[in-house]
Structure 1
Amino acid sequence: MIYLTYSDPLTGVFQSQVIDVCNYLNKALDIKVCLVSFISIKGFWKSRKRIKALTKNALVLPMFPTIILWKLNAITLFFTVLLTGERVIIARGVFACNMALILKPLLIRKVSYDGRAAVSAEYTEYDVSPYKSLLPVIKLAEKKAVIKSDFRLSVSTELIKYWENQFNYNSRQHVIIPSTVNSSWSQDLLHSQEKMEMRKLLGLPEEKVIIVYSGSTAGWQSLDLMSDFVSKILEKQPNILFLVLSPSSPQITDFNKRFSNNFVEKWVLHNEVEKYLKVCDYGILLRDETTTNKVASPVKFAEYLSAGLSVIISKNIGDASSFVNENNCGFVVNEKLENDLKPLSEEQRIKNSNLAKKFFTKEAYFSQYKICTDSLMNKE
Structure 2
Amino acid sequence: MNTDKRINILFINDGSLDNPIILSQGLPLLKSISGNKFNPCFVSFEPGKSSEEVLNKLSGIRRQYDGEITFITTQLKYRRFLPNWLIFFFAGITSVSKIIKNEKIKILHARSLFPAIIGWVMKLRFPGVKLLYDNRGVFIEEEIFKNHWRRKSLKVKLFEYLEKRVIKKSDAIVVVSRAFKKYMIEKFEKYDDNLNRKVQVIPNRTIVSDRKENEFSNINHKKENIVGVYSGSAASWQNISELLQFINECKNVFPDFLFKIVSYQIEEFKSIIKTEQNLIDKIEFIIADSTEVIYILSDCDFGVLLRENNLINRVSSPLKFAEYLAAGIPVVVSEGVGDTKDIIRKYNVGVIIKNNDYSSAVEELIRLLQDEEISKRCFLTAKNELNLEQSIDQYKNIYKNLNDE
The two structures share one fold, judged by TM-score above 0.5: yes
Q: Which residue of 2 aligns with 1:54?
A: 64
Structure 1 SS opposite 2:308: coil
Contact 2:144/2:150 (8 A) holds in 1 = no
Against the structure 1 CA distance between its residues 365 and 232, is the aligned structure 2 distance closer, same or farther, given a 3 Å change threshold?
A: same
Contact 1:6/1:39 (8 A) holds in 2 = no
Alpha-carbon distance between aligned partners in 1 of 2:28 and 2:374, rounded to the nearest angstrom: 28
Q: Which residue of 2 aligns with 1:221?
A: 238
1:366 Cα deviation after fit: 5.4
1:142 Cα deviation after fit: 2.8
Q: Which residue of 2 aligns with 1:176?
A: 201
- Mark the structure with the bigger radius of gyration: 2
AA matched with 1:235: N
368-377 or 275-284, larger mean C-alpha shift: 368-377
Q: Which residue of 2 aligns with 1:203?
A: none
AA matched with 1:255: I
Contact 1:100/1:111 (8 A) holds in 2 = yes
Alpha-carbon distance between aligned partners in 1 of 2:135 and 2:329, rounded to the nearest angstrom: 27
**What is the alpha-carbon root mean square deviation over aligned residues?**
2.9
Contact 1:41/1:62 (8 A) holds in 2 = yes
1:265 to 285, 289, 304: 285
1:327 Cα deviation after fit: 1.3
317-326 or 304-313, larger mean C-alpha shift: 317-326
2:44 to 32, 37, 42: 37
Structure 2 SS opposite 1:16: helix
The percent of aligned pairs where both chains have the same amino acid is: 22
Alpha-carbon distance between aligned partners in 1 of 2:311 and 2:39, rounded to the nearest angstrom: 36
2:22 matches 1:4: no
Against the structure 1 CA distance between its residues 225 and 50, is the aligned structure 2 distance closer, same or farther, given a 3 Å change threshold?
A: farther
Contact 2:234/2:269 (8 A) holds in 1 = no
Alpha-carbon distance between aligned partners in 1 of 2:19 and 2:258, rounded to the nearest angstrom: 26
2:325 matches 1:305: yes
Alpha-carbon distance between aligned partners in 2 of 1:344 and 1:324, rounded to the nearest angstrom: 17
1:141 Cα deviation after fit: 3.2
Against the structure 1 CA distance between its residues 85 and 32, is the aligned structure 2 distance closer, same or farther, given a 3 Å change threshold?
A: same
Q: Which residue of 1 aligns with 2:312?
A: 292
2:273 to 239, 255, 268: 255
1:344 Cα deviation after fit: 6.1
Aligned residues: 368
Q: Which residue of 1 aligns with 2:22?
A: 14
Against the structure 1 CA distance between its residues 69 and 366, is the aligned structure 2 distance closer, same or farther, given a 3 Å change threshold?
A: closer
1:95 to 99, 102, 114: 114
1:255 Cα deviation after fit: 2.6
Contact 1:329/1:352 (8 A) holds in 2 = yes
2:83 matches 1:70: no
Which structure 2 segments of 5+ residues have no match? 1-8, 79-83
Alpha-carbon distance between aligned partners in 1 of 2:212 and 2:44, rounded to the nearest angstrom: 33
2:330 matches 1:277: no
Q: Which residue of 2 aligns with 1:127?
A: 147
- Deviation sequence 1:191-245 (CA, Å, 0-9, x none): 589989xxxxxxxxx9621111111222322222222222222233342211111
Q: Which residue of 2 aligns with 1:210?
A: 227
1:13 Cα deviation after fit: 1.7
AA matched with 2:102: L
